[in-house]
Chain A
Amino acid sequence: AQSVTQLGSHVSVSEGALVLLRCNYSSSVPPYLFWYVQYPNQGLQLLLKYTTGATLVKGINGFEAEFKKSETSFHLTKPSAHMSDAAEYFCAVISSGSARQLTFGSGTQLTVLP
C-alpha cells in the first residue's frame, strides 16, 4: 500500500523567505508524486507532478519539488514566499494498482507573515 507523510501540519514563513514543505512517501514501486494546493473554500489545484524523467520538477506560481528516491522524499520549495501563497498544501502519491488512485498526506497549512 502507498502512504504519504507530511512533516509539520503548520509552517510559518516571512514574506520573501524560503518555503520548504516536507513530504515523504512509501511505495514498493516507482511512484507518481503530486503536490496540490487548496485555498480556503476552494477545491484542490495541481501545483506540480513527478512521473518519470527529470527529478527536479517545476510547477506553477514559482514552486518546485525534487524527487529523491534514496530518501523517499518529494519536498516542495519556493525561493521567496508571497502573501498569496498562504494556503494548505497536500502531497499525494498515485497507487500502483490498476485503479491508479491518489493517496493524500494530511496536509501542511502555510502561513506567510508580513
Chain B
Amino acid sequence: EAGVAQSPRYKIIEKRQSVAFWCNPISGHATLYWYQQILGQGPKLLIQFQNNGVVDDSQLPKDRFSAERLKGVDSTLKIQPAKLEDSAVYLCASTTGLGNEQFFGPGTRLTVL
C-alpha cells in the first residue's frame, strides 16, 4: 500500500515570496491533516479536513496561509507571502477516520531567507 506522498521535499524561497505544497493521502483515507513542525518542536496542527470539508482551521494563520482539498483527495497548502518564521517542515497526514492512527508523509522542508 502506498504511503502519504508529499512534494516538493525541499523548498528555499525569499521572504515575501509565495510557495505551495502538495499532499496525496493514502487511498480511501477521508481525513487529512497539515502540520507545521518548527525545528526542535513537535508538530503543530494547522488544518484538518474531513473529505473536502474543513473540520478545524483555528490554528491556521489565515492572513497568509490557505489550504484546500478538492474532490476530497489531494490537498495543497499555500503560503503567501512567506515570512522568516515560516521556516519549518510541513507534514501531511491522513487517516481513515477521526481518532484513528494517522499516517504521515515525509514532509516538505521550507527555508525562508
Contact = CB atoms under 8 A, between A and B. Distances in A.
A106 B41 contact: yes
Contact of A107 (B33, B41, B55): B41
A40 to B, nearest CB: 11
A-B pairs with lowest CB-CB distance, top 9: A104-B42, A43-B104, A100-B99, A100-B98, A44-B104, A43-B106, A99-B56, A43-B105, A106-B42
Chain B, interface SS category:
loop
Nearest to B91: A43
Interface stretch (B43-51, B60-68, B70-78): B43-51
A100 B40 CA distance: 24
Interface centre among A32, A41, A46, A102 (most CB of B within 10 A): A102
Interface residues of A, number: 23
B101 A99 contact: no
B25 interface: no
Interface string B75-113: 000000000000000010100001101101111010000
A74 interface: no
A98 interface: yes
A72 B102 CA distance: 23
Given A49-B101, A100-B98, A107 B42 contact: yes
Interface of B: 4, 9, 33, 40-45, 48, 55-56, 91, 93, 98-99, 101-102, 104-107, 109
Contacts of B98: 98-100
Contact of A101 (B9, B41, B45, B91): B45
Interface string A47-78: 00100000000000000000000000000000
A41 B109 CA distance: 9
Given A46-B101, A49-B101, A104-B43, 5 more contacts: A43-B91, A90-B43, A94-B99, A99-B98, A107-B41
Chain A CB within 10 A, most for which of B33, B55, B99: B99
Question: Which of A44, A46, A90, A101 gathers most chain B CB within 10 Å?
Answer: A44
